[in-house]
Amino acid sequence: MNTVELELLESVKIHLVVNVSRIHRYREQVAGQKVTPPLPVIIEGEEKYEVKKILSKRKWYGKVKYLIHWKEYMAEEGT
């Protein structure tokens, strides 16, 4: 079996059964580790961040969405 059923609050509106490939172990920050995100580059008055890698792509309500790993950020901070 490649699926697991999640125990979530009723207010969370996602499907409770997911593929195990979507489950990742939580990693706490190392005690004393300083997390200082890099500053954005300002281009034409707008903040810009550099993409390290596109992790995934999906269509959501007719729009294409990307999961991005930003350069100089930890993978857990992807958006």
List pLDDT tens digits, range 53-71: 898 899 989 999 998 888 8
Residues 6+ apart with CB under 8 A from 5: 16, 17
Q: What is the model's pLDDT at position 22?
A: 85
Tokens 């995100």 locate to 37
CA atoms within a 13 Å half-sphere pointing along the CA-CB vector of 52: 10
CA atoms within 13 A on the CB side of 61: 0
Q: Cα torsion at 53, 55, 56, 60 (round to 10°)?
A: -80
pTM of the complete model beyond 0.85: no
